[in-house]
Amino acid sequence: MVALFAVFGMLAASCGDDSDAPSSSASSSASSSAESSSDPEAALSGSLMITGSSTVEPVTNLLAEAFSELHPDVAFSVSGPGSGDGHKAACAGEVPIWNSSRQIKDKEVACLEEKGIEFIEFRVGIDGISAITSIENDAVECLNFADLYSLVGVEATGFSKWSDANSLNAEIGGTGPFPEGDLEIFAPGEESGTFDSFIEIALEDVWEERAEAGEADANYAVRPDYNASANDNVIIDGIAGNKYSLGWVGFAFADEARDEVKLLEVDGGDGCVAPSPATIADASFPIARFLYTYVDVAQADDPAVKGFIEFMLSDEGQKYVVDAGYVNLADSDLAQGRDSWANKTTGKTF
Amino acid sequence: MAIVSNPARLAEQHAASLSRKPGSDIPGQVFKGVLISVTGLAVAFLAVLVGVMVVDGWSVLSERLGDFLSRGFSQRSAAEAGVWQGIIGTLQIAIATTVFAVPIGVATAIYLVEYADNNRFSRLVELNVRNLAGVPSIVYGLLGLAVFVKSLSGFTQGKTIFAGGMTLAAMVLPIVVITSVEALKAVPQGVREAAYGVGATKWEVVARQVLPASFSTILTGTVLSLARALGEAAPLILVGAATGFISFGDANFLETFTGPFTALPVLIFNFARQPGEDWSANAAAASVVILVLILMINGTAIYLRNRFEKKW
């Protein structure tokens, strides 16, 4: 215990050096200081708590890191529990800025409205979701949405081999038949924005049609018997370790692991397209989603919040979207975000 | 012929007449073998675990250990990321946890052993405490979120070191109570009776005899429970530890207790979910750092126990 406190004392001494300046805020969320500086070069202080999507978190981390080099007095706390958690924290008034890997849902808007919280919406980048299999799987190159549904949709519950899906696949217009291999599925858990987006983009149309026809469960789009993980590296490991695996992760993770997993081409109706930064940016790769950041408009004039958002929307800030493994927005989307910020346009704008 | 009577030889003969043929204690030999191999297995697991961590983290540990220990969180590249905020956070949490858990835990133990009658209530308390020691840490995380972050936000300032420390304090409290109860019970009854015999009051017996006598054991239990608390990530993430970028801004050291925080296990969690080999190396290196930190704490516990230990 004595040693512990001795070590601690040393650390206390070493990081208490700059303690003379009184901080304007030590609260857990951003707080306005009375005099808001209009000079962007002036050093800012205050504290910023940002939460929400774990997919957007790396972008925010990079932005915060660069921003705090310019403004070392701003305290940051960035976390990424999930998009839904971000909207929940916003509704509880806990954070001035929050991220989401999908657009805010109507019930989340309703929650904010109830609390009198108005928000500004930005798109910050685009994430392609990659359908992946093991690098050793040479039987599959390209899947369409019907194929994906017949393998991971709710009607695929219990299919333990790719070939089990053949009759369903033929019925709904897939490209089968598939090989005999053991079908092992690794994908994000339900709490993940990647899970939601994959369903929304790749499965929902086929699933809804099947549910209306009374063939599929109307409550769940995805088979429950798959290996769910919140950790993308666990998914990658699972995919890499099983020859006939199938799963999906964000493009950034799949792209990093190209020596272990195979990024499948996807046919969204206009032929097979391989995921790449170019095909995701021009929207030709069909499984891609926009990443969003939201700001509580009541705190938009807080110098730290203002400085950070303006940094995010700047050309320099947009570079970090690419650094995080995502793809930059089309110019029109970025311009729209800048307009919303300049005019304090609240509500869903995309 | 003289009868040679040699005690050692007699004993030998006696033993020989009693013992069965060599190899007849087969169950005993088998049991011994099982015990040795199981012990070996446990040690092997530990060795493999530490070995894998050191090997995976070697690129970081050998090339930029000082840098790794002194730099803060970085998303930019694995080669720039460091753990000092995690070390600070972990030490701050250690302080907060100790401050909350030890007085309450030791006081509870003193009450249970020295003051409480052996009635239904005190038995219920003790049973309850023993069961609480087995509750998973994530449940304490939920408790922390609901009580320390939300209900007591006026005191803890929301998602802060205080809330984290109190959550972990609640988690280790049962362990502190149990080890302290055992320590107090281990003080021979004669010590108390002798003190009463020379006219000491109850307060004097507890404060001057029983507590000092059990001090080293209580301390050991406390520090070991602290080591367990410092390895936890899940409850801290629930009570709002930053899993991403963190900086303390212009807050001074005391103010960081009520500002954003992180801890080593949370940083390991963050490193481990980043894509790429470099980040895995960082996660392994950070694991070695927390292992060393906890070994240091345990070492302190052993030193203090030896220093203050009282033999009866």
Neighbours of B182 (CB within 10 A): 15
Q: What is the pLDDT of residue B310?
A: 67
Q: What is the pLDDT of residue A264?
A: 94
Q: What is the pLDDT of residue B312?
A: 60
Helix (H) or strand (E) holding B139: helix B137-143
- A198 contacts A187 by C-beta, under 8 angstroms: yes
What's the mean pLDDT in B175-191? Answer: 93
- Reply yes or no on whether the pLDDT at B67 is more than 80: yes
Residues 54-93 of A with CB under 8 A from B: 54, 57-58, 60-62, 64-65, 68, 72-81
Nearest CA in chain A to B222: A1
Cβ pair A64:B245 closer than 8 A: yes
pLDDT band at B153 (very low <50, low <70, confident <90, very high): confident
Higher-confidence residue of B190 and A21: namely B190
Q: Tell me which DSSP letter residue B291 carries.
A: H
- B287 contacts B57 by C-beta, under 8 angstroms: yes
B63 part of a folded domain: no
State the amino acid at position B36 in one-letter form.
I
Cβ pair B259:A26 closer than 8 A: yes
Cβ pair A19:B245 closer than 8 A: no
CATH at residue B248:
1.10.3720.10
Give backbone dihedrals phi and psi of A123, rounded to 5 degrees, phi first.
-95, 135
Q: What is the pLDDT of residue A127?
A: 84
Neighbours of A305 (CB within 10 A): 25
Indicate the burial class of B254 (C-beta count within 10 angstroms; 0-12, 13-18, 19 or more). exposed
Which among A161, A163, A1, A216 is positioned nearest to B303, based on CA atoms? A1
Nearest CA distance, A23 vs chain B (angstrom): 6
B154 part of a folded domain: yes
B29 part of a folded domain: no
Query: Where are the domain boundaries for CATH 3.40.190.10 in chain A?
Result: 46-125+290-343, 128-288
| Greatest pairwise CA separation for chain A in angstroms | 73
Nearest CA in chain A to B295: A4
Which among A54, A46, A53, A50 is positioned nearest to A64, based on CA atoms? A50
* Cβ contacts of B157 on chain A, cutoff 8 Å: 27-28
- Domain covering A46-125+290-343: architecture: 3-Layer(aba) Sandwich (3.40)
Round to whole Å and give the CA distance between B290 and B154: 32
State the amino acid at position A23 in one-letter form.
S
A264 touches chain B (CB under 8 A): no
| Greatest pairwise CA separation for chain B in angstroms | 100
Query: Which of A28, A308, A321 has the most B C-beta neighbours within 10 Å, making it the best mutation to test the interface with B?
Result: A28
Higher-confidence residue of B2 and A207: namely A207
- Reply yes or no on whether the pLDDT at B237 is more than 70: yes
B119 part of a folded domain: yes
| Each residue's pLDDT expressed in tens, for chain A with a length of 350 residues | 444 444 444 444 444 333 333 333 333 333 333 334 444 456 788 889 999 988 899 899 999 999 989 998 898 899 888 889 999 999 988 899 999 988 999 999 999 999 999 999 999 999 889 999 999 998 899 999 999 999 999 999 999 999 999 999 999 988 878 988 899 999 988 766 678 788 888 999 899 999 998 888 888 899 999 998 877 888 999 999 999 999 999 887 888 889 999 999 999 888 999 998 888 877 789 998 889 999 999 999 999 999 999 999 999 999 999 888 788 888 888 999 999 999 999 999 88
Nearest CA distance, A166 vs chain B (angstrom): 34
What's the mean pLDDT in B101-113? Answer: 93
Q: What is the pLDDT of residue B55?
A: 93
- Reply yes or no on whether the pLDDT at B305 is more than 70: yes
Concatenated DSSP letters of B21-35: -TT--HHHHHHHHHH
Indicate the burial class of A343 (C-beta count within 10 angstroms; 0-12, 13-18, 19 or more). exposed
Tokens standing for residue A113: 């409205």
- pTM score, two decimals? 0.71
Round to whole Å and give the CA distance between B255 and A100: 30
**DSSP3 helix / strand / coil % (chain B, rounded to 5):** 75, 0, 25
Count: domains in chain B: 1
Pick the range with the lowest mean pLDDT from A324-333, B49-58, B205-214.
A324-333
* Cβ contacts of B88 on chain A, cutoff 8 Å: 11, 15
Higher-confidence residue of B75 and A98: namely A98
- Domain covering A128-288: architecture: 3-Layer(aba) Sandwich (3.40)
Residue with tokens 């088979």: A223
* Cβ contacts of A324 on chain B, cutoff 8 Å: 75
Q: What is the pLDDT of residue B251?
A: 76
Cβ pair A81:B243 closer than 8 A: yes
What's the mean pLDDT in B137-146? Answer: 91
Q: What is the pLDDT of residue A45?
A: 80
Q: Tell me which DSSP letter residue B209 carries.
A: I
Indicate the burial class of B84 (C-beta count within 10 angstroms; 0-12, 13-18, 19 or more). middle
Q: What is the pLDDT of residue A12?
A: 41
Nearest CA distance, B259 vs chain A (angstrom): 6
Q: What is the pLDDT of residue A201?
A: 87
% of chain A residues with pLDDT over 90? 51
| B59 CB-near residues (< 8 Å, 6+ apart) | B281
What's the mean pLDDT in B143-159? Answer: 84
Round to whole Å and give the CA distance between A183 and A12: 55
Give CA A236 to chain center in angstroms.
Answer: 17
Higher-confidence residue of B305 and A235: namely A235
Q: Identify which of B76, B94, B249 has the shortest CB distance to residue A62.
A: B76
For Cα atoms B197, B198, B199, give the angle at the middle one, nearest 5 degrees: 90
Reported ipTM: 0.74
Bridge pairing between strands A46-52 and A74-78: parallel
Q: Which long-range contacts (CB under 8 A, 24 or more apart) does A233-238 make?
A: A233/B272, A233/B273, A233/B274, A233/B275, A233/B280, A234/A186, A235/A186, A235/A187, A235/A188, A236/A132, A236/A260, A236/A261, A236/B275, A238/A184, A238/A186
* Cβ contacts of A47 on chain B, cutoff 8 Å: 249, 251, 259-260
Bridge pairing between strands A97-100 and A46-52: parallel
Round to whole Å and give the CA distance between A255 and B115: 65
3-state secondary structure of A249: strand
Round to whole Å and give the CA distance between B307 and B305: 5
Per the structure, the complete domain to which residue B217 belongs is given by 85-261
Q: Identify which of B94, B275, B304 has the shortest CB distance to residue A232.
A: B275
pLDDT band at B75 (very low <50, low <70, confident <90, very high): confident
Which among B83, B139, B128 is positioned nearest to B293, based on CA atoms? B83
Which among B167, B95, B98 is positioned nearest to A7, based on CA atoms? B95
| A66 CB-near residues (< 8 Å, 6+ apart) | A311, A316, A317, A320
- At B251-301, the pLDDT tens digits run 777 777 877 889 999 999 888 877 667 888 999 999 999 999 988 888 888
3-state secondary structure of B241: coil
Q: What is the pLDDT of residue A193?
A: 65
What is the CB-side half-sphere exposure of residue B289 using CA atoms within 13 A? 32
